[in-house]
Amino acid sequence: MLPTKERLKENLERVKETIRESCLKAGRGADCVKLVGVTKTKPPQLLRWACELGLCTFGENRAQEFLKKWEELKDLPIEWHFIGYLQTNKVKYLVDKVALIHSVDRPSLVDELQKRVSKKGIEKFPVLVEVNVGGEETKAGVSPEEAPRLLEYLLEKAPNLEVRGLMTVPPYRENPEEVRPYFAALRELRDRLEEEFGLRLPELSMGMSHDYPIAIEEGATIVRVGTAIFGARD
């Protein structure tokens, strides 16, 4: 069931308060994290309400669904993020509409992004490398061992892509505390890559409704929250 606008407001305030508390607990500034509302399967009206309530950054998982919402909500100052598996044949529809792609995980996608971004005349397009920290076969993402190779490929072959950091979707655990090692592993991998390549990778996109406070304690700079704001998926 979809929340009322009043319930949405309460949910959003609760999530923002939890983010503030988690940032302070981790010894970071109260606004240390960017909140991305995950809106897969949610109707445009909910996004409209959320934006009126102060959350105008949304993450979509599917290109077709995203394009419909983008069209319908063009009048709002929305910052769109693409956070799902991205097929190369969908890239051309996204690059001039999204602020950040979280899910770069293979050379063929890098090639297509570079081609389309360059064609659009975009000087630097921000991306994150998706890492499969749990080694789960059902999930996308490059393995931690392969991440340096993919980063090297990006730096060599994609001058118009700006790698801003890493993203992960860790294994689900009933107790969020058990997910902590996966978040720590992504942060440690980021630190090693920064050292190895001599560049800054400031963004860590990790943590969802179930575990985002733990992710923040482990260094997340972007959390992707859906259910805790918009209610369970239908």
**What is the value of pTM for the model shown?**
0.96
pLDDT at res. 206: 99
Distance CA 30, CA 17 (A): 9
Distance CA 220, CA 205 (A): 6
171 DSSP 8-state letter: P
Query: Can you give the pLDDT of all 234 residues of the chain as single tens digits?
Result: 789 999 999 999 999 999 999 999 999 998 889 999 999 999 999 999 999 999 999 999 999 999 999 999 999 999 999 999 999 999 999 999 999 999 999 999 999 999 999 999 999 999 999 999 999 999 999 999 999 999 999 999 999 999 999 999 999 999 999 999 999 999 999 999 999 999 999 999 999 999 999 999 999 999 999 999 999 876
pLDDT at res. 78: 99
5-230 CATH, one of 3.40.50.300, 3.40.50.920, 3.20.20.10, 3.40.50.150: 3.20.20.10
Q: Shortest CA distance to 79 belongs to which of 62, 104, 54?
A: 54
What does the domain layout of the chain look like in residue ranges? 5-230
- Which residue has tokens 């979707």? 169
pLDDT at res. 211: 97
For 125, the token pair is 């397009």
Pairing of strands 125-130, 79-82: unpaired
pLDDT at res. 26: 94
Distance CA 208, CA 227 (A): 9
Distance CA 170, CA 87 (A): 21
pLDDT at res. 68: 98
Q: Shortest CA distance to 108 belongs to which of 125, 85, 124?
A: 85
